[in-house]
Amino acid sequence: MTKTYSPKAGEVERRWFVVDAADIPLGRLSTRIATVLIGKHKPQYARHIDTGDFVVVVNAEKTVLTGNKEEGKIYYRHSGRPGNLRSETAAQVRRRYPTRLIERAVRGMLPKGPLGRQQLTKLKVYAGPEHPHEAQKPESLPLLQGAAARTQEVSP
Protein backbone atom coordinates (compact mmCIF):
# COMPACT_ATOMS: atom_id res chain seq x y z
CA MET A 1 0.00 0.00 0.00
CA THR A 2 1.21 3.48 -0.79
CA LYS A 3 0.99 6.09 1.89
CA THR A 4 -0.21 9.64 1.36
CA TYR A 5 2.60 12.17 1.49
CA SER A 6 2.12 15.18 3.72
CA PRO A 7 4.84 17.84 3.73
CA LYS A 8 6.33 18.96 7.02
CA ALA A 9 6.84 22.65 7.76
CA GLY A 10 10.63 22.22 7.93
CA GLU A 11 10.82 20.40 4.58
CA VAL A 12 9.38 23.24 2.53
CA GLU A 13 11.92 24.90 0.26
CA ARG A 14 11.09 28.56 -0.29
CA ARG A 15 12.12 30.50 -3.38
CA TRP A 16 11.90 34.21 -4.14
CA PHE A 17 10.19 35.56 -7.25
CA VAL A 18 10.06 39.10 -8.61
CA VAL A 19 7.16 40.38 -10.72
CA ASP A 20 7.07 43.57 -12.78
CA ALA A 21 3.45 44.73 -12.54
CA ALA A 22 3.72 47.38 -15.27
CA ASP A 23 0.90 47.12 -17.85
CA ILE A 24 -0.56 43.88 -16.40
CA PRO A 25 -4.26 43.73 -15.44
CA LEU A 26 -4.74 43.70 -11.67
CA GLY A 27 -6.88 40.55 -11.55
CA ARG A 28 -4.56 38.41 -13.68
CA LEU A 29 -1.57 39.57 -11.68
CA SER A 30 -3.28 38.93 -8.34
CA THR A 31 -4.44 35.40 -9.16
CA ARG A 32 -0.95 34.35 -10.23
CA ILE A 33 0.62 35.90 -7.12
CA ALA A 34 -1.95 34.24 -4.83
CA THR A 35 -1.24 30.85 -6.44
CA VAL A 36 2.49 31.21 -5.72
CA LEU A 37 1.94 32.47 -2.15
CA ILE A 38 -0.35 29.54 -1.37
CA GLY A 39 2.04 27.04 -2.99
CA LYS A 40 -0.35 25.50 -5.53
CA HIS A 41 2.35 25.62 -8.20
CA LYS A 42 4.40 23.01 -6.30
CA PRO A 43 3.91 19.24 -6.35
CA GLN A 44 4.06 19.02 -2.54
CA TYR A 45 1.13 21.41 -2.06
CA ALA A 46 -1.02 20.77 1.00
CA ARG A 47 -3.87 23.07 1.91
CA HIS A 48 -3.20 22.94 5.65
CA ILE A 49 0.50 23.89 5.47
CA ASP A 50 2.13 27.02 4.09
CA THR A 51 4.15 25.62 1.16
CA GLY A 52 4.26 28.87 -0.85
CA ASP A 53 7.11 31.07 -1.98
CA PHE A 54 7.98 34.74 -1.53
CA VAL A 55 6.82 37.23 -4.17
CA VAL A 56 8.28 40.72 -4.69
CA VAL A 57 6.13 43.01 -6.84
CA VAL A 58 7.73 46.10 -8.39
CA ASN A 59 6.09 48.94 -10.36
CA ALA A 60 2.82 48.49 -8.49
CA GLU A 61 1.74 52.01 -9.46
CA LYS A 62 1.75 51.03 -13.16
CA THR A 63 -0.67 48.09 -12.93
CA VAL A 64 -3.76 48.33 -15.14
CA LEU A 65 -7.45 48.30 -14.28
CA THR A 66 -9.55 47.38 -17.32
CA GLY A 67 -12.82 49.00 -18.32
CA ASN A 68 -14.01 51.88 -16.15
CA LYS A 69 -12.83 50.31 -12.87
CA GLU A 70 -10.40 53.17 -12.24
CA GLU A 71 -13.37 55.43 -11.39
CA GLY A 72 -16.14 52.86 -10.95
CA LYS A 73 -14.55 50.45 -8.47
CA ILE A 74 -15.12 51.63 -4.93
CA TYR A 75 -13.17 50.46 -1.87
CA TYR A 76 -14.92 50.70 1.50
CA ARG A 77 -13.49 50.78 5.00
CA HIS A 78 -15.15 51.17 8.37
CA SER A 79 -13.67 52.11 11.73
CA GLY A 80 -16.36 50.27 13.68
CA ARG A 81 -17.93 53.46 15.02
CA PRO A 82 -21.42 54.47 13.87
CA GLY A 83 -21.40 56.66 10.77
CA ASN A 84 -17.74 56.07 9.92
CA LEU A 85 -18.08 54.22 6.62
CA ARG A 86 -15.53 55.67 4.19
CA SER A 87 -15.30 55.03 0.47
CA GLU A 88 -12.64 55.72 -2.16
CA THR A 89 -12.39 54.97 -5.86
CA ALA A 90 -9.51 52.88 -7.19
CA ALA A 91 -7.93 56.02 -8.66
CA GLN A 92 -7.91 57.71 -5.24
CA VAL A 93 -6.42 54.63 -3.59
CA ARG A 94 -3.73 54.44 -6.29
CA ARG A 95 -2.81 58.12 -5.75
CA ARG A 96 -2.53 57.79 -1.96
CA TYR A 97 -1.17 54.24 -1.60
CA PRO A 98 -0.13 52.67 -4.93
CA THR A 99 0.74 49.33 -3.30
CA ARG A 100 -2.64 48.80 -1.63
CA LEU A 101 -4.49 47.85 -4.82
CA ILE A 102 -2.33 44.75 -5.25
CA GLU A 103 -2.16 43.93 -1.54
CA ARG A 104 -5.92 44.07 -1.17
CA ALA A 105 -6.64 42.08 -4.33
CA VAL A 106 -4.24 39.31 -3.31
CA ARG A 107 -5.47 39.27 0.30
CA GLY A 108 -8.99 38.57 -0.92
CA MET A 109 -7.75 35.52 -2.83
CA LEU A 110 -5.91 33.92 0.09
CA PRO A 111 -7.50 31.64 2.70
CA LYS A 112 -9.13 33.39 5.61
CA GLY A 113 -7.63 32.82 9.05
CA PRO A 114 -4.12 32.37 10.48
CA LEU A 115 -2.76 30.46 7.47
CA GLY A 116 -3.84 33.18 5.03
CA ARG A 117 -2.29 35.89 7.21
CA GLN A 118 0.97 33.92 7.32
CA GLN A 119 0.94 33.56 3.54
CA LEU A 120 0.29 37.29 3.07
CA THR A 121 3.48 38.15 4.96
CA LYS A 122 5.46 36.63 2.07
CA LEU A 123 4.13 39.30 -0.32
CA LYS A 124 6.36 42.37 -0.73
CA VAL A 125 4.93 45.19 -2.88
CA TYR A 126 6.84 48.30 -4.01
CA ALA A 127 5.51 51.25 -6.01
CA GLY A 128 8.69 51.84 -8.01
CA PRO A 129 11.18 49.62 -9.84
CA GLU A 130 13.62 49.21 -6.90
CA HIS A 131 13.35 46.70 -4.07
CA PRO A 132 15.67 45.78 -1.15
CA HIS A 133 15.56 42.00 -1.72
CA GLU A 134 18.50 41.53 -4.12
CA ALA A 135 20.35 39.43 -1.53
CA GLN A 136 17.69 36.69 -1.86
CA LYS A 137 18.40 36.46 -5.63
CA PRO A 138 14.76 36.53 -6.78
CA GLU A 139 13.87 34.85 -10.07
CA SER A 140 11.48 36.29 -12.62
CA LEU A 141 7.97 34.85 -12.31
CA PRO A 142 6.25 33.98 -15.60
CA LEU A 143 2.75 35.42 -15.32
CA LEU A 144 1.00 33.95 -18.36
CA GLN A 145 0.88 30.26 -19.17
CA GLY A 146 -0.41 28.11 -22.00
CA ALA A 147 -1.90 29.61 -25.16
CA ALA A 148 -2.02 33.11 -23.67
CA ALA A 149 1.76 33.05 -23.15
CA ARG A 150 2.42 31.92 -26.72
CA THR A 151 0.28 34.70 -28.20
CA GLN A 152 1.90 37.20 -25.86
CA GLU A 153 5.38 36.23 -27.09
CA VAL A 154 4.42 36.38 -30.78
CA SER A 155 2.69 39.76 -30.74
CA PRO A 156 5.05 42.78 -31.06
pLDDT at res. 147: 45
Global pTM reads 0.87
Report if residue 31 sits inside a domain: yes
**Count of structural domains within the chain:** 1
C-alpha 143/C-alpha 26 separation (Å) is 12
Report if residue 24 sits inside a domain: yes
Return the half-sphere exposure (C-beta side, CA atoms, 13 A cut-off) of residue 115.
16
Q: What is the mean pLDDT of the chain?
A: 91
Report if residue 91 sits inside a domain: no
Report if residue 60 sits inside a domain: yes
Task: Give the burial class of 81: count Cβ atoms within 10 A of its Cβ; 0-12 exposed, 13-18 middle, 19 or more buried.
Answer: exposed
pLDDT at res. 142: 83
CB under 8 Å, gap of 24 or more: what pairs does 90-98 form? 90/65, 94/61, 94/70, 98/60, 98/61, 98/127
Q: Could you tell me which of 113, 137, 140 has the C-alpha nearest to residue 36? A: 140
Return the half-sphere exposure (C-beta side, CA atoms, 13 A cut-off) of residue 116.
11
**In 10 A of CB 76, how many CB atoms?**
8
Q: What is the CATH number of the domain that holds 120?
A: 3.90.1180.10
Report if residue 77 sits inside a domain: no
Question: Could you tell me the residue range of the domain that residue 18 belongs to?
Answer: 14-66+98-144
Report if residue 93 sits inside a domain: no
List pLDDT tens digits, range 71-124.
999 999 999 999 999 999 999 999 999 999 999 999 999 999 999 999 999 999
Report if residue 45 sits inside a domain: yes
Report if residue 90 sits inside a domain: no
